Amino acid sequence: MAGVRLESLTKSFGPAVTAVDRLDLDVADGEFLVLLGPSGCGKTTTLRLIAGLETASTGRIHIGGRCVNDVAPADRGVAMVFQDHVLFPHMTVRDNIGFAVKMRGLGKSEVKRRVDHAAALLSLDECLSRQPRELSGGQQQRVALAAAIVTQPQVFLFDEPLSNLDAALRVQARTEIARLHRELKATTLYVTHDQTEAMTLGDRIAVMNQGVVQQVAVPLNVYRRPANQFVAGFIGAPAMNFVTGTVDNGVFRPCGAGEEIEIALPSETPAGSVVLGVRPEDVLVNDPSVRMARSTVDLVERLGEQTLVHFELLGSHCVARVDAARDVAVASIIEIGFRAGACHFFANDATGVRLG
């Protein structure tokens, strides 16, 4: 097994596109690291660079302490599983799984041993003599996984491997990948834009935007202490509410509103223009202990266990997540408060960096 280290890794496609921009990342031996970010932020390009399917413009890639920039893809000890992994339609599942290692000249009995082992790990034993078209979508996905496992890579690279599956199968496949990682303990880079997958699978999450890593941290830290406004807005659904304003003498005053809101600011919050962030679950509706502002309910979405209440606050569209038992009607007037200590503050500039 081996860790992966990316040093100032950059990939440009012509002068106009920098897909990956001076990326530094350390993935520990045996770690499960999730790369999360919006479409086009450079996730696939990062994996393809590690796999050797793209050449770095500048920077270095180390696998197991060895610089692999000039090492051929087949000799890097990595296996990549793609979103639209295509199986050979006229080969059996057994031949599909064993294809790559057979091509590498491995003996027949060793190929059989590895295929049987991988099939058992993924509960594919019963399917080995079938053809891909005789499998469900989830089984086909598992065949692609098994084909990666038999190569015994030092590093697994997954590029949204579950995105073609329906919601129920995704959950099942997710738990299988988690179990597989516990058993194989292989270093894994896993790309997704599904937050639940990222939060549940990752030892750590690396959030990317526009080719740049914004934050690398354990999942709960990314949620609780986002490093900047981009991460704060990207992680969490519904997204964090933001209100722009100024801090003056320890008081937050929203832009364009006559009212002041008294909020206990972190002592380090500098005076000046800031963005206040508060998660929907930290917005209190009609709570007698905290009343900061008044608004009118625009929309009520009943999700079952919880209800989302939409309203305008100080010029911004906001959402509160409240218990489903609460009776909140559209067009009614509500009192809004923020849970004590739950507000985040970000610089109101291009960096959007966390304050305090």
Ligand X SMILES: Nc1ncnc2c1ncn2[C@@H]1O[C@H](COP(=O)(O)OP(=O)(O)OP(=O)(O)O)[C@@H](O)[C@H]1O
Is residue 43 within the footprint of ligand X (CB under 6 A)?
yes
Is residue 49 within the footprint of ligand X (CB under 6 A)?
no
Residue 295 interacting partner from Mg ion, ligand X, none (CB closer than 5 to 8 Å by kind): none
Q: Report the C-alpha gap between 28 and 19 in whole angstroms.
A: 24
Q: Report the C-alpha gap between 46 and 247 in whole angstroms.
A: 39
Q: Report the C-alpha gap between 108 and 101 in whole angstroms.
A: 10
Nearest approach, Cβ of 41 to Mg ion (angstroms)? Answer: 9
Find residue 17's DSSP bridge partners: 13
Q: Which of residues 1-20 bind ligand X (CB under 6 A)?
A: 13, 17, 19
Residue 253 interacting partner from ligand X, Mg ion, none (CB closer than 5 to 8 Å by kind): none
Instruction: Specify the stretch interacting with ligand X by CB under 6 A; choose among 40-48, 129-137, 285-293, 321-329.
Output: 40-48
Window 169-198: contact mask with ligand X (x via CB under 6 A): ------------------------x-----
Nearest CA-CA partner of 278 in 239, 323, 327: 239
If the CB atoms of residues 17 and 333 are measured against ligand X, the closer one turns out to be: 17
Nearest approach, Cβ of 189 to ligand X (angstroms)? Answer: 12
Burial 81-97 (b: 16+ CB within 10 A, else e): bebebebeeeebbbbbb
Among 18, 32, 35, 44, interactor with Mg ion by CB under 5 A: 44
If the CB atoms of residues 45 and 96 are measured against ligand X, the closer one turns out to be: 45
Nearest CA-CA partner of 98 in 70, 128, 133, 65: 128
If the CB atoms of residues 94 and 174 are measured against ligand X, the closer one turns out to be: 174
Residue 13 interacting partner from Mg ion, ligand X, none (CB closer than 5 to 8 Å by kind): ligand X
Task: Classify strands 155-159 and 78-81 as parallel, antiparallel or unpaired.
Answer: parallel
Is residue 42 within the footprint of ligand X (CB under 6 A)?
yes
Tell me the residue ranges of DSSP E strands in the chain: 4-13, 17-27, 32-36, 58-63, 66-67, 78-81, 155-159, 187-192, 204-209, 212-217, 241-248, 251-254, 272-278, 283-285, 293-302, 306-313, 316-323, 333-338, 344-347, 354-355
Is residue 44 within the footprint of ligand X (CB under 6 A)?
yes
Is residue 46 within the footprint of Mg ion (CB under 5 A)?
no
Q: Which of residues 66-125 bind ligand X (CB under 6 A)?
A: none
Residues that bind ligand X (CB under 6 A): 13, 17, 19, 37, 39-45, 193
Residues that bind Mg ion (CB under 5 A): 44
